[in-house]
Structure 1
Amino acid sequence: MPSSHPMPRPSLEMLRALTDENVLRSLMSESRLTRAEIAARTGISRPTISDSVRRLAAVGLVVDTGERTTGRGRVGSYYGLAPGLGAALVVGITPHGITAEAVDALGRVSAREETPLGQDAGRQAVGDALDASVRRLAGRAGDRLRTAVVSAADPVDRGTGRLAHLPDAPFLVGDLDPPGVLAPYVSADASILVDNDVNWAARAERAEGCARGVDDFVYLHLGEGLGGAVVCDGDVRRGAHGFAGEIAHLYVPGPDGAALPLTEVFAALGLRRAGSTAVDVAALRARLAAPDDRVARAVLTSAIGAVVAAAVAFADPRTVVVGGSWGPDLVPTLDARFRHGPRPVPVAAACLPAPELIGARAHATDRLRTLVVDSAHPALAT
């Protein structure tokens, strides 16, 4: 039977907080809006929007930009987010260098620093470059860094945010501690989230790439390093330790048909970079393009096909996305095989440039926006 007790009505403070959030999020999607435009976007009455704008201006979150509407009719004032609301720090750690960005609540990059790394740089060099990049960025950003998101081309321990050393990983940074390096440059209460670059790339492809809106898919990164991400019910599954999707040691058919760890297939084909476990991408792509070298393509297609088959069996994806510097070269052959298999799954090529930074930047922007919204009504913040 339905309850005889009426549902409690939301408090006035809660209603005001919801209206203020609508106003702030509208102004986070456009750099300036009039009260009438905000009302039209949100479906909230203009008097209620006007009250909200006054409240938000009084606490320093919204400002009159000084611009006015033109044309016939009543002149309207444009409002925007106030300056000084802080920035989000976005960091990319790759075998080639460090990228550090300051991103505002509109998602705009306000400052950027890049520091190159030497080949096989190692933990100390990477740590020093990370510290130097963020120090320079913090000096230029002009806003306090209120949250941080890091993309790293290494396995990441989900409990600590440290980079983890797995056997034969090509980017051997060891136990680098990005949260520890970044802590002096962000607000004392700032959250610092570190995740593997392939996971960020998968999030980006789901948000605005070839897997837009797909809740269940597998993303494979095939480049100098090998990695995977599993997206299930719209979320990246990181696993108990953060190592879900680490495909390098999955056993696959080698050149003579014998089972080998995937990473060893490249060694058997002579496609590893000298003195490293990294894939020699230039040599690999040259062999894939050579019309008289069918062995490399056949072996690599068979090996990566085994990875896709395992992903289909265990993750039941709607699609498989293949990215990286050479992986998309195999997509037509893989798609023809799996689209018509016993469990049909299309295989598509990733389509975003630098998807790991796109994914990390979007998440950092969302976190910063939530901090700004929560600051309007701190007592109600979740």
Structure 2
Amino acid sequence: MAASPSTARAINDRLALRLLQHEGPLTAGQLKELTGLSRPTVADLVERLTAAGLIEVAGEARAQRRGPNAKLYGIVAGRAHLAALDVRTEGVALVVSDLVGGVLAEASLPIADDTGTGPAVEQAVALVERTAKEAGADRLHTVGIGAPGLIDPATGELRDSTGLPEWHRRLVAALQERLPEARVSVENETNLAALAEQRDGAASDRDTFVLLWLGHGTGAAVILDGTLRRGASGGTGEIGFLPVPGTRGLPSATDCTGGFHSLAGAAAVARLAAEHGIAPDPGAGPEAAGAVRAAVSAPGNPAHARFLDTLADRVAVGVASVVALLDPGCVVLGGELGQAGGTELAARVQDRLTTMSPLPVEVRPSTLGGGAVLRGALLTARDHAQDELFGVPGH
């Protein structure tokens, strides 16, 4: 049965809006080419979406021939405001943006270990409110949060995890209470980093890959056939608990000491660097990342080379386990340590895999590093807001 005229218009509008979401501003001619719709149909939908306040003229395209330049149409950026948070054990980083992801304000706040739960939550919420005001956002439509720990797939809530501050879990509820009109969602930090690397970073040409997060903690995010896989309990990628050789003892249900985390977490890497007499690169961020960056900057130094070789041995143990189970074809080394190690560390890990696994895999360094979590939170907040406002089915 043929669609009614109103249904056909809605389908065409959604198609055009989705293209503008992914491609950015387009001319009416480009919309015609990409949608396959007729020129009059495209003209009608452009007029209809403009009148509805969903799109606007965003500039002009360079003309390929004589005559007036074609108008570029884009999504109305100011229709809604978004916030993205990267919640770490030591503090919070924040970005406030418009509907197309243009950054309007940024802020960060350290939160000391001895800060009580209530004060920590209040400081973080106040930071969001203050930064939104500075950005000119009277109301936040969507707030995306990236945090360490497990996300319950049934409720979308951050589960209670041993070793993580209690204020992490309280923060989500507090933001929802103080921002009742906003849609607040939380996602595991490594998953968000993978989504960012897939969209804008090292895995932009891959539908299947694994991001191995190497930072304060260790984790992995799995993207298969373009889809993020979370697992039955939301625990896919908890590689810090993976039992591995080279550690003392085994991890437990409440403590990843003895697992892969004990080999490749920031504290373990900092100790390894100290054993090799490597001082962190001043001003290069956290101690472990600074040490890795210092070693990479002078690989000809025998002590630096030995440190990088040992670190690559450790990382390769985790990567080989992932490759044996998933055969992803590509592993991105993310987080502060993955970015600091760059191509030097990635190449060393890949060399080791050629003798450890029969499966081909390309090891790449992150191009977004520690900023990938905040970028992923902003991208998902933008997608959720646009889909809701424009009635576009979820990706």
Give me the TM-score of the superposition, normalised by structure 1.
0.77
Q: Tell me how far 1:335 sits from its aligned partner.
A: 0.4
Separation in 2 of the partners of 1:201 and 1:177? 23
1:88-130 residue CA offsets vs partner (Å, 9 max, x unmatched): 3222212443223233232212333332333575644542232
Any gaps of 5 or more consecutive residues in structure 1? 1-7, 274-278
Segment of structure 1 superposing worse, 54-63 or 89-98: 54-63
2:176–2:183: 8 Å Cα contact kept in structure 1?
no
- The amino acid across from 1:148 in the alignment is V
1:339–1:347 Cα contact (<8 Å) kept: no
The alpha-carbon distance between structure 1 residues 85 and 271, as it changes in their structure 2 partners (threshold 3 A), is same
1:347 maps to: 363
Question: Aligned pair in 2 of structure 1 residues 58, 68: CA closer, same or farther (>3 Å)?
Answer: same
Find 1:320's aligned residue among 331, 334, 340: 331
After TM superposition, give the deviation of residue 81 of structure 1 in Å. Answer: 4.2
Task: Find the counterpart in structure 2 of residue 192 from structure 1.
Answer: 184
**1:109 alignment partner in structure 2:** 103
- 2:146 aligned with 1:146: no
The share of aligned pairs that are identical, in percent, is 32
Q: Is 2:356 aligned against 1:334? A: no
* Matched-pair contact (CA < 8 Å) for 1:272–1:280: no
Does residue 172 of structure 2 align to residue 172 of structure 1?
Answer: no
Which one of 128, 138, 144 corresponds to residue 134 of structure 1? Answer: 128
Partner of 2:260: 262
- In structure 1, what is the Cα distance between the partners aligned to 2:377 and 2:235? 18
**TM-superposition CA deviations, 1:236-281 (whole Å, max 9, x none):** 22222322212222222227899932334477887299xxxxx951
Counterpart selection for 2:375 from 333, 354, 358: 358
- SS of residue in 2 equivalent to 1:248: helix
Give distance in 1, aligned partners of 2:239 and 2:213.
10
How many Å separate the matches in 1 of 2:375 and 2:367?
A: 12
- Contact 1:120 1:172 (8 Å CA) reproduced: no
Q: Deviations over 1:39-95 (max 9, x none)?
A: 455443332223223333443334568999999657976655457521232222124
| Maintained 8 Å contact 1:218/1:320 | yes
The residue number in structure 2 matching 1:219 is 211
**SS of the residue 2:112 aligns to:** coil
Give runs of aligned pairs for residues 3-14 of structure 1, distance below 5 A: 8-14=1-7
SS of the residue 1:145 aligns to: coil
Q: Work out whether 1:369 is the aligned partner of 2:386.
A: yes
In 2, are the aligned partners of 1:217 and 1:230 still within 8 Å (CA)?
Answer: yes
Query: In the superposition, relative to structure 1, how do residues 320 and 146 fare at CA in structure 2: closer, same or farther (>3 Å)?
Result: same
Maintained 8 Å contact 1:27/1:33: yes
Amino acid at match of 2:189: D
Partner residue in 1 for 2:277: none
Instruction: Tell me which of 318, 321, 344 is aligned to 1:307.
Output: 318
Q: Which residue of 2 aligns with 1:4?
A: none
Tell me the CA shift for residue 136 of structure 1: 1.3
Letter in structure 1 aligned against 2:347: P
- What is the distance in 2 between the residues matched to 1:111 and 1:42? 35
Bigger Cα Rg? 1
- Structure 1 range deviating more: 131-140 or 280-289: 280-289
Structure 2 equivalent of residue 5 of structure 1: none
Q: Tell me how far apart the structure 2 counterparts of residues 95 and 199 of structure 1 sit (CA, whole Å).
A: 17
Richer in helix (by share) = 2
What CA deviation, in whole Å up to 9, does each residue of 1:282-324 have, x standing for no partner?
A: 6853688773478755654443222122212222211221122
Residues 301-357 of structure 1 deviation map (CA, whole Å, 9 limit, x = unaligned) = 443222122212222211221122334353222100213532232222112241122
Matched residue type, 1:263: H
Contact 2:244 2:317 in 1 (8 A): yes
Return the match for 1:209 from 193, 201, 216.
201
Asked whether the 8 Å contact 2:197–2:372 carries over to 1, the reply is yes
Q: Is the 8 A contact 2:85 2:94 kept in 1?
A: yes
TM superposition score normalised by structure 2: 0.75
Matched, 1:15 2:26: no
- Whole-angstrom CA distance in 1 between matches of 2:172 and 2:20: 31
Letter of the 1:261 counterpart: G
Contact 1:63/1:80 (CA < 8 Å) preserved in 2?
yes
Q: Distance in 2 between matches of 1:313 and 1:116?
A: 39
User: Retained in 2: the 8 A contact 1:205–1:350?
Assistant: yes
Instruction: Give the superposition deviation at 1:26.
Output: 5.1
Q: Which amino acid aligns with 2:373?
A: E
* C-alpha deviation, 1:13, in angstroms: 1.0
Whole-angstrom CA distance in 1 between matches of 2:114 and 2:145: 20
